Chains A and B, each alone.
Chain A
Amino acid sequence: MKKYLLKGNEAIAEAAVRAGCRLFFGYPITPSTEIIEYMAKHLPAVNGTFVQAESEVSAINMCFGAAGAGVRVMTASSSPGISLMQEGLSYIAANELPVVVVNIVRAGPGLGGLGPSQADYFQATKGGGHGDYRLIVLAPSTVQELVNLTQDAFDLADLYRNPVMIMADGILGQMMEPVVFQERETRQLPAKDWATTGAEGRPRNTITSYSLQNEIGEANCLRWEAKYRSIAAAEQRWEQYMTDDAAYLMVAYGTTARIAKAAVQMARKEGIKVGLLRPITLWPFPVDGFKSLQGQIKGYLSVELSAGQMIEDVRLATNCSAPVHLCNRQGGMVPAPEEVLERFKEVFPAAAAAV
């Protein structure tokens, strides 16, 4: 099987094409532009259609319409563009439509900067738009995983009839690594009998999220709530690294997980018993991963490119059973593994002293 050297952004786009995505609507923005460029270049060759929308508001609503017609569709952007899409995402979630959205996160708030960031965690996992809804949020940490999770994203979206977000920071979008595109087993997915494809010979399907009766509104909310609960139970994903004998745990996703992994390796060389828990799904947050380790961990270090957002979920997942500290850089800056280890020793002096 041929290996390619791909940029993260190209890998996402190629994986989407291979997953059967034939419609893409987007508006270019650094550092996710290569996704849009790649789709513009490669979709016509597979009888797909690429449209550069006049804005992100327009792009997400084009996705809304295409998904309603039962077609695999994707959009991609970076932070400010994703903010513009929030209203559309709320509508797509309410109408239970499968759309894959990629956020290659850059520094915010506001126009922010072009450098990498993880400061869109709250927006992605807690609902950036209005109402009670959830996105399934996947957080790859290598270019190969960008490929695999992009393909999974389309299946998850179809399976749960829910928007799925792939969230990676600018470094992952831009860095180049060897990847393969493995043939995948086709997952058994429910028929899209709800799609508005022309009602010939069958009752009319309607897609709307407006309910004038509060009773119906509440029934809808309860149905969605039950769906989100079942996703939370079935779809948590995480990776544990050197956790068997760990007394301390670093928690990080995406790029910072790789930096934290390097920091764990450095710490282990010094004899410090620290491991890494890497959430792969940010929503649902992998609380089960924490549960299995809770008795043994004396302290957690959340490593983030934000002012500290995931750290709140770490505290909830562990019921604050041990101290949770933060190691972070912001505004496009990225910590070196040495910096992470230094911060670890600063907040957990007992860990280093125990060696």
Chain B
Amino acid sequence: MGTNNRVTVFVGNYGSGKTELSINYALDLARQGQQVALVDLDIINPYFRSREKADLLESQGVHVVLPPAEYVMSEVPAMPPEVAGFIANKDYHVVIDVGGDNTGATALGRFADLIKNTGYRMLMVVNTNRPDTASPAGIITVMHSIEAAGGLSVTALVSNTNLAWETDLELVQQGQKILEQVSLQTGLPIDFIVVERSLYEQVKEHFPHRQVFPIDIMMRLQWAQT
């Protein structure tokens, strides 16, 4: 029981950046030589899901746990039985990418007892430039609804404030300020700040005592910035 780092569950408001973070987090673990399984639990809808990057992830040593191929484009909560196997397998780090909001977290409830027994950390990913999580009160409301639906408690916060390619240091600071208020009110620690790799040095310099996790954006459409 309790918190450990072997099972990491990413939850949050939809559009908070869970999928980008999950993919990068899993790749980072694989680079460190860990055995990693990424569970795509997004049953909300079939756009922009980590399963689109399954081939890339597999080639980099991340095992992607997906529904059978014929159901990959479906919206049914059909998860293969191996999910439970990986959660229980002490040789594996398991990263769980949960669908957005309480609706998405409902799929987590199916594995809640198992995850609780094995130990986990559940990170609430927050982008304060999303409408429902722009204030401490909004963030806490979303968090409680996710906890109720998923049957697990958030153990820490992750700051992922961004406006896609328009993100700068000032924006990250603003987000961090709001998240610090949430941290004060809830007692939850802020585990790390997520930024696109191009901003890493700048943000790291500004927050020398914070862990900053740089990510490479995987899901952005190649023509988005034309």
Contact A14 B223, beta carbon cutoff 8 Å = no
**Contacts A3-B129, A5-B127, A5-B129; A178 near B164 (Cβ below 8 A):** yes
Give the residues from 132 to 187 in chain A that come closer than 8 angstroms, CB to CB, to chain B. 170-171, 174-178
Contacts of A115 in B (CB 8 A): 46, 73
Contact B48 A174, beta carbon cutoff 8 Å = yes
Give A1-13 as 1s and 0s: 1 = Cβ < 8 Å from B's Cβ atoms.
Answer: 0111111001000
Contact A114 B164, beta carbon cutoff 8 Å = no
Contact A14 B131, beta carbon cutoff 8 Å = yes
Contacts of A6 in B (CB 8 A): 15, 130-131
How many A residues touch B, CB cutoff 8 Å? 29
A174–B45 Cα gap in the complex (Å)? 9
A190–B221 Cα gap in the complex (Å)? 42
Contact A31 B223, beta carbon cutoff 8 Å = no
Q: Does B226 contact A (CB under 8 A)?
A: yes
How many B residues touch A, CB cutoff 8 Å? 22
Contact A3 B46, beta carbon cutoff 8 Å = no
**Contacts A5-B15, A114-B46; A258 near B163 (Cβ below 8 A):** no
Nearest CB of chain B from residue A200's CB, rounded to whole Å: 41
A262–B127 Cα gap in the complex (Å)? 29
**Contacts A30-B45, A33-B45; A5 near B130 (Cβ below 8 A):** yes
A86–B215 Cα gap in the complex (Å)? 46
Contact B166 A3, beta carbon cutoff 8 Å = yes
Nearest CB of chain B from residue A140's CB, rounded to whole Å: 15
Nearest CB of chain A from residue B109's CB, rounded to whole Å: 20
Q: Does A280 contact B (CB under 8 A)?
A: no
Contact B75 A30, beta carbon cutoff 8 Å = yes
Contacts of A258 in B (CB 8 A): 223-224, 226
Contacts of B47 in A (CB 8 A): 31, 114, 170-171, 174-175
Nearest CB of chain B from residue A256's CB, rounded to whole Å: 10
Q: Does A259 contact B (CB under 8 A)?
A: yes
Contacts of B127 in A (CB 8 A): 5
Q: Does B59 contact A (CB under 8 A)?
A: no
Q: Does B159 contact A (CB under 8 A)?
A: no
Contact B45 A178, beta carbon cutoff 8 Å = no
A334–B1 Cα gap in the complex (Å)? 46
Q: Does A316 contact B (CB under 8 A)?
A: no
Nearest CB of chain A from residue B113's CB, rounded to whole Å: 29
Say what secondary structure dominates the interface of chain B: loop
Give the residues from 201 to 226 in chain B that come closer than 8 angstroms, CB to CB, to chain A. 221-224, 226
Nearest CB of chain A from residue B38's CB, rounded to whole Å: 21
Q: Does B162 contact A (CB under 8 A)?
A: yes
Give the residues from 27 to 86 in chain B that come closer than 8 angstroms, CB to CB, to chain A. 45-48, 73, 75
Contact B131 A4, beta carbon cutoff 8 Å = yes
Q: Does A337 contact B (CB under 8 A)?
A: yes
Nearest CB of chain B from residue A116's CB, rounded to whole Å: 8
Give the residues from 149 to 207 in chain B that come closer than 8 angstroms, CB to CB, to chain A. 162-164, 166
Contacts of A262 in B (CB 8 A): 222-223, 226
Nearest CB of chain A from residue B51's CB, rounded to whole Å: 13
A337–B221 Cα gap in the complex (Å)? 11
Give A241-269 as 1s and 0s: 1 = Cβ < 8 Å from B's Cβ atoms.
Answer: 00000000000000000110110010000
Q: Does A65 contact B (CB under 8 A)?
A: no
Nearest CB of chain A from residue B114's CB, rounded to whole Å: 29
Contact check: which of B45, B134, B162, B223 meets A114 at CB < 8 Å?
B45
**Which A residue sits closest to B161, measured CB to CB?**
A5
Q: Does A336 contact B (CB under 8 A)?
A: yes
Contact B48 A175, beta carbon cutoff 8 Å = yes
Contact check: which of A10, A33, A176 meets B164 at CB < 8 Å?
A176
**Which A residue sits closest to B48, measured CB to CB?**
A174
Contacts of B162 in A (CB 8 A): 5
Contacts of B163 in A (CB 8 A): 3-5, 178
Contact B226 A175, beta carbon cutoff 8 Å = no
**Which A residue sits closest to B16, measured CB to CB?**
A5
**Which B residue sits closest to A263, measured CB to CB?**
B223
A170–B75 Cα gap in the complex (Å)? 15
Contact A176 B75, beta carbon cutoff 8 Å = no
Contacts of A175 in B (CB 8 A): 47-48, 221, 224
Q: Does A113 contact B (CB under 8 A)?
A: yes
List 28 A-B pairs, Cβ < 8 Å: A3-B163, A4-B134, A5-B129, A5-B163, A6-B15, A6-B130, A7-B15, A30-B46, A31-B46, A31-B47, A34-B14, A113-B73, A114-B45, A114-B46, A115-B46, A115-B73, A170-B47, A171-B47, A174-B47, A176-B15, A178-B166, A258-B224, A259-B223, A261-B223, A262-B222, A262-B223, A262-B226, A337-B223
Extra A-B contacts (14), CB below 8 Å, given A30-B46, A258-B226: A4-B134, A4-B163, A5-B15, A6-B131, A7-B14, A115-B73, A170-B47, A176-B15, A178-B163, A178-B166, A258-B224, A259-B223, A262-B223, A337-B222
Interface residues of B (CB under 8 A from A): 14-15, 45-48, 73, 75, 127, 129-131, 134, 162-164, 166, 221-224, 226
Report, nearest first, the 9 A-B pairs whose CB atoms are least far apart: A174-B47, A262-B223, A178-B163, A262-B226, A5-B129, A261-B226, A178-B166, A114-B46, A258-B223
